[in-house]
Amino acid sequence: MADSKTIERGFCRLCGRALLPPEGFGGLKDGSGVCAACLRKLRPMYPLAISWDKKGNEVRQDPIRELDTVQAAESLKNAAAFIEELRAKYDHHNAVFAVESVTVEKGGFMKPSTYYAVGRVIYGCFEPEDRITLLHGGGKAETALTCVRKRASYGAGSPMDQGLGGQPCALEFTGKGLACEPGDLIVRD
Ligand SMILES: [Zn+2]
């Protein structure tokens, strides 16, 4: 008999893979599970939205949870073509992040400023130490990511492994006099 602590969370409704507890998985409208790999493919088409209620509790709006199995399977078939269209729209960068707000911790004489760009990954993946390019007002500046953080009500929250397409998050980087404002894009090539 299977050990219910290590397996038996059912199987992915879309690809048939077993759903294992350590990986993140979500449900569709009818409650059936979807594995992390399928979620990752669907997420850029159905971005996750995070907001906060008056008490400061996180409110997640996940459009994938509104899909039925037929809609999700259909979307999964179109996921690769969807990303190709996005890549064409954004000059074929490997990953693109849309900046919604920026917080800057001013540096000192020998210390560069720290920037927290809060927004959403449109597609692709951002990880700590990635070389990134800030696109601002027709100009560009290069730097490296120091951290990818969760999005919190006050801006940037705790660190996470990576920011994936369709996910809200915050990108942390340092530099002197970098220009980064809401509406800008941060890209990885
Ligand atoms: Zn799956």
Q: Which are the contacts of 145, defined by CB distance < 8 A and separation ≥ 6?
A: 126, 127, 128, 129, 130, 132, 171, 172, 173
Is pLDDT above 50 for 3?
no
CATH class of 95-188: mainly beta
Q: Which pLDDT value is given to residue 10?
A: 82
Write the CB contacts of 118 (distance below 8 Å, at least 6 apart in sequence).
99, 100, 101, 102, 103, 151, 155, 156, 168, 169, 170
Find the 41 Cα to ligand 1 centroid distance in Å: 9
Query: In this structure, which residues have their CB less than 5 angstroms from ion ligand 1?
Result: 12, 14-15, 17, 35, 38
Delimit the CATH 2.40.30.10 region(s) of the chain.
95-188
Rounded to the nearest angstrom, the distance between the alpha carbon of 176 and the centre of ligand 1 is: 43
pTM of the model: 0.90
Our CA angle for 166, 86, 135, nearest 5°, is 85
Per residue in 79-107, pLDDT (tens digit) is: 999 999 999 999 999 999 999 999 999 98
87 CA distance to ligand 1 middle (Å): 24
